[in-house]
Structure 1
Amino acid sequence: MSSTNPSEADQAEDLYFNSNPPPKDLDKHVALARDFINFQTQEGRRVVLITSGGTTVPLVRFIDNFSAGTRGATSAEYFLESGYAVLFLHRQFSLLPFSRHYSHATDCFLDFLREGPNGSVVARDEDAGKMLHVLRQYREARDRNMLLVLPFVSISDYLHELRSITRLMRPLGPHGLLYLAAAVSDFFVPPERMSEHKIQSTDAADAVMKASKTASADVTTDEETFDNFDSSPSVPRSKRLVVDLDPVPKFLKNLVEGWSSQAMIISFKLETDPTILVHKARYSLDRYQHHLVIGNLLSTRKWEVVFVAPNMQDRWIRLPINRRKSTVDGPAPLDLTVADQPLDPKSLPEGEPDIEIESLIIPAVEDLHSGYIKAYDETKGRA
């Protein structure tokens, strides 16, 4: 395929980044990321860049991606628990580590609080213990400079930030880890085709323009023009919005071969069809030559994922379906399950699992990363 040709990939990269302007805060974010990475290098820590949330495609209005950033925000907490410094590149207003426990709740955040003595604000009694635990974890991460949070909005913002930050991670060598959990748009509108003004929902503007050219002082338009709920089965083309989108260039190969070539790179694959999940994950792995694809199905993503890696049997990481919060002998065992088939969604119990699948994903990723560093060091030693 032409997209696997490095020279063509470089040309596509140059064309995209030269024609799509960087976000206004890019220089500020790069400076923060550089200081953060340098500090972690001096401390001898591993650094993981987590991308999280969806990307928008501006159209004056915009097309958005389905993603609240749950996987990324949750994973960040478990990476911190494992001793990684976390550079969290997230969609603005998507879920954040630690605050996700309250910002994503069904209750309003203010419902967790009450007025205390002398006009103070305190957590309500039933939430105080958990809130204090989460607050301490957050403060420890920030006080030890182990968490840096940087936002993006559009697909162009995301790609500029990703390229700049991954290049900064080069000095980390194999101790850098890229955990690409963001839901990235597949299509975009090039700047030269961007609409300058608000996209009209009807042809009312045309009607006004035509009427203004008549001798009559009264402007009249057909009432149907303003009807957004036209139930007629055939909608005139003049009332449709037809958007011509270009495919977003696939930069994963550029990342693997150039931006941060020594880091361990993990991508994600979300599918709705269980018959193609592993096949699509394996195809991505073979095409881009990175280190791990974590596949998940929309219907079971909170219960299981599959690890697809080179020279490794596919591994399903799965929560025990009969898991209970506690047993006489303590928590039920949590194991990596090797299976040939994904779970049947109909076999799952009602409601959410009582533990988070990321509590299994991150230790498994850490083991693979340790193996990657060891193999890299051995190869370097032989050289």
Structure 2
Amino acid sequence: MLSQIQTETPPEDLAALAETHYFAANPPPKDLEKHVALARDFINFHSAAKRRLVLVTSGGTTVPLEKQTVRFIDNFSAGTRGATSAEYFLEAGYAVIFLHRQFSLLPFSRHYSHATDCFLDFLREGPDGSVVARDEDAARMLHVLRKYRNARDRNTLLVLPFVSISDYLHELRSVAQLMQPLGPSGLLYLAAAVSDFFVPPERMSEHKIQSTDVAEAFKKSKNARAQKTTEDEETFDNFDSSPAVPRSKSLVIDLDPVPKFLKNLVEGWSPQGMIVSFKLETDPEILVHKAKYSLDRYQHHLVIGNLLATRKWEVVFVSPLSPDRWIRIPNPAESHASTAAVEKDEPVDPKSLPDGEPDTEIESLIIPAVQELHTKYIQTVEAKNKA
């Protein structure tokens, strides 16, 4: 039905149609009203203080396969880019709404969230039975703690969770609309790894998807034979290599594309805010092309392109009316190379990079560059408004 309407609708109305259909068909998260109230108070507080505010989205979005979700599709994102960026935005003087995938990395606590950096490894028992930081780690922990307490005490960080792609889009739309009074002082930094496909609710199973037909047979015929089949299946579930019943069914998932709401964001949800999106690719030959295509299609303000293999070493800024700008951490192996070679306008070869992660967080370079563009954007909008 929707596809038929789309063929009969002018192109300029398709974005609004997709928005209406999607949000009507996909229910909002149960905590949306609570989150909206928190965000409204937070935005009003910082708007009165004339402080710049950024919405940072972070982490992956799940795609549930059942309404009572047991199984879902996910991606690899742990929220590292978003959580790290949020810290540097706070250092730059922004208030931050951190819209993140539940249980993904958070600002400040991210330093002690990985298995390789378990916070218990940084602690020891004091002589009086107290818990204290190890001497060699105390200075670093104190530095992070002070930044965290500063954000808490100044009320400059609001943390809001989401889980599914539907949750994310409801939250994004609501918070973006609340940011409209901020005008160009509002910044939307969309670092979340958003799912491209989803299962529409009308095609979603109410209960857990079964791997065999046993449950269905049991419902249809509650007799001894059905009971025996269930017992046989239990044997198979315990790795019987010669089951009396067929092996598990294959699962074919029919996914629909998630509507691209970036145009709605640019034109309706936050028409004056500066909007930054990310483009992650694995093929270096298409990275800049895809970033420029996105910028041209949605008419927002900046695409930050990065490659999976080198995303912690370099990114490329693609923005309208500006040359592409590579931001990268110098490769220690090329410290002797000329400046021109280090600043080449093409992706680095992952094989040329040293093992492990760089000593510098690339977000420490990204955020000042974004802040610089945001300042220019505010000046441009204000000049237009005065003209």
TM-score of the pair, normalised by structure 1 = 0.89
1:340 matches 2:345: yes
Distance in 1 of aligned mates of 2:161 and 2:350: 34
1:313 matches 2:323: yes
* Aligned residue type for 2:321: N
> What pairs up with 1:290-301 in 2 under 5 angstroms?
290-301=300-311
Quote the residue 2:149 is aligned against: 139
Quote the residue 1:34 is aligned against: 40
Compute the RMSD of aligned alpha carbons. 2.7
By how many angstroms is 1:212 displaced? Answer: 4.0
Distance in 2 of aligned mates of 1:228 and 1:200: 17
1:194 matches 2:194: no
Distance in 1 of aligned mates of 2:85 and 2:341: 17
1:373 matches 2:378: yes
By how many angstroms is 1:107 displaced? Answer: 3.9
By how many angstroms is 1:121 displaced? Answer: 1.6
Distance in 2 of aligned mates of 1:78 and 1:229: 55
Structure 1 unaligned regions, length at least 5: 325-333
By how many angstroms is 1:108 displaced? Answer: 2.7
Q: 1:214 to 1:118 in 2, by over 3 A?
A: closer
* Aligned residue type for 1:352: E
Q: 1:378 to 1:54 in 2, by over 3 A?
A: same
CA contact (8 A) 2:330 2:342 kept: no
Distance in 2 of aligned mates of 1:158 and 1:184: 8
* Aligned residue type for 2:312: K
Quote the residue 1:327 is aligned against: none
> What pairs up with 1:58-73 in 2 under 5 angstroms?
58-59=64-65, 60=69, 61-73=71-83
Output one character per residue of 1:27-74: Cα deviation in whole Å (capped at 9) or x when no partner: 111111011111111111100000000001112211112200000000
* Aligned residue type for 1:11: L
Output one character per residue of 1:185-244: Cα deviation in whole Å (capped at 9) or x when no partner: 11111122221111123344356557745669744647895487989xxxx997101111
CA contact (8 A) 2:212 2:247 kept: no
Distance in 2 of aligned mates of 1:35 and 1:216: 58
Quote the residue 1:330 is aligned against: none
Output one character per residue of 1:220-273: Cα deviation in whole Å (capped at 9) or x when no partner: 647895487989xxxx99710111111111100000000000000000000000
Q: 1:342 to 1:215 in 2, by over 3 A?
A: closer
How many equivalent pairs are there?
369
> What pairs up with 1:1-383 in 2 under 5 angstroms?
5-59=11-65, 60=69, 61-206=71-216, 208=218, 212-213=222-223, 218-219=228-229, 221=232, 226=237, 239-322=249-332, 338-382=343-387
Structure 2 unaligned regions, length at least 5: 1-5
Q: Which moved more, 1:187-196 or 1:276-285?
A: 187-196
Output one character per residue of 1:127-168: Cα deviation in whole Å (capped at 9) or x when no partner: 111000000001001100111111000111100000000000
* Aligned residue type for 2:48: Q
By how many angstroms is 1:339 displaced? Answer: 3.0
Q: 1:309 to 1:117 in 2, by over 3 A?
A: same
Distance in 2 of aligned mates of 1:132 and 1:216: 63
Distance in 1 of aligned mates of 2:135 and 2:154: 29
By how many angstroms is 1:174 displaced? Answer: 0.3
Q: Which moved more, 1:212-221 or 1:96-105?
A: 212-221
Q: 1:311 to 1:199 in 2, by over 3 A?
A: same
CA contact (8 A) 1:302 1:357 kept: yes
CA contact (8 A) 1:296 1:305 kept: yes
Quote the residue 1:331 is aligned against: none
Sequence identity, in percent? 73
CA contact (8 A) 1:315 1:338 kept: no
Quote the residue 1:329 is aligned against: none
CA contact (8 A) 1:40 1:47 kept: yes
Distance in 1 of aligned mates of 2:79 and 2:10: 30
CA contact (8 A) 2:211 2:248 kept: no
SS in 2 for 1:350: coil
Q: 1:101 to 1:11 in 2, by over 3 A?
A: same
Distance in 1 of aligned mates of 2:211 and 2:81: 35
SS in 2 for 1:312: coil
Q: Which moved more, 1:132-141 or 1:206-215?
A: 206-215
Q: 1:119 to 1:258 in 2, by over 3 A?
A: same
CA contact (8 A) 1:208 1:221 kept: no
CA contact (8 A) 1:314 1:338 kept: no
* Aligned residue type for 2:12: P
Output one character per residue of 1:95-115: Cα deviation in whole Å (capped at 9) or x when no partner: 000110001251432222122
Q: 1:237 to 1:119 in 2, by over 3 A?
A: closer
Quote the residue 1:328 is aligned against: none
Distance in 2 of aligned mates of 1:16 and 1:223: 40
SS in 2 for 1:119: coil
TM-score of the pair, normalised by structure 2 = 0.89
Distance in 2 of aligned mates of 1:19 and 1:297: 34
